[in-house]
A and B are shown apart, each in its own frame.
Chain A
Amino acid sequence: KNQVEQSPQSLIILEGKNCTLQCNYTVSPFSNLRWYKQDTGRGPVSLTIMTFSENTKSNGRYTATLDADTKQSSLHITASQLSDSASYICVVSEANAGGTSYGKLTFGQGTILTVHP
């Protein structure tokens, strides 16, 4: 069964500090891996999308890495801000027989990040 596992489940850091969130997946066949940010009661917002050929991708203070061989990804947040407090979700898209994505996404449970002043 396709699964996406994230660690840690929750994380508390001080404003201005960096942090790294981890993701392991077993989704196959693999199309791409996405990181989303979800504020409480809101819809997820995309941060990055990476295909198997991409090792790293940045979006401002967010940097995602992907190791398609070990099926691991990480999201690094630098110089955290209070507004970074949210759930960060690792999401993997399956490939269809043609190698592209159906768009069917498998979500992880998310890491709840709390940034304290």
Chain B
Amino acid sequence: EPEVTQTPSHQVTQMGQEVILRCVPISNHLYFYWYRQILGQKVEFLVSFYNNEISEKSEIFDDQFSVERPDGSNFTLKIRSTKLEDSAMYFCASSVFSYNEQFFGPGTRLTVL
């Protein structure tokens, strides 16, 4: 059964460093998403991406964040200068269309020291 994959599973970085989180969505899906979940809190929407551009973003997704689909399979989230409060689990998701079921990856736990 096809699934969304994410790498790495755990990333530790120093405050101020850049990180890139990687995702491989399900191959025939057209919509891609990033969410984050701070420990003990609810999942929060960051950004949705369709047709090689951002279709919607939340107020969390400021200029420090960017997304890219560099090739036909990968979908990345870049945080330019990490802050302590960026420590969270980051989930990638994909769906065929925006109203369909979203399939989530296993997440990348980002720890900023």
CB contacts (< 8 Å) of B58 on chain A: these are 104
Given contacts A43-B91, A43-B106, A44-B104, contact A106 B45 (CB under 8 A): yes
B residues apposed to A, CB below 8 Å: 4, 31, 33, 35, 41-45, 48, 55-56, 58, 89, 91, 93, 95, 98-107
Nearest B-chain residue to A103, judged by Cβ: B98
Nearest A-chain residue to B9, judged by Cβ: A41
> What is the interface of chain A mostly: helix, strand, loop, or mixed?
strand
CB contacts (< 8 Å) of A110 on chain B: these are 42
The 6 A-B pairs of least Cβ separation, nearest first, read: A43-B104, A103-B98, A101-B99, A107-B43, A46-B101, A102-B56
Q: Decide if B102 touches A105 in the complex (CB within 8 Å).
A: yes
Q: Decide if B55 touches A42 in the complex (CB within 8 Å).
A: no
Distance of A108 Cα from B37 Cα, bound (Å): 12
CB contacts (< 8 Å) of A114 on chain B: these are none
Beyond A43-B4, A44-B104, 10 extra complex contacts between A and B, CB < 8 Å: A42-B107, A46-B102, A49-B100, A101-B98, A101-B99, A102-B55, A105-B35, A105-B45, A107-B42, A107-B44
CB contacts (< 8 Å) of B91 on chain A: these are 43-44
Separation in Å of the A5 CB from the closest CB of chain B? 11
Give the most central of A41, A103, A110: most B CB within 10 Å.
A103
Q: Decide if B42 touches A100 in the complex (CB within 8 Å).
A: no
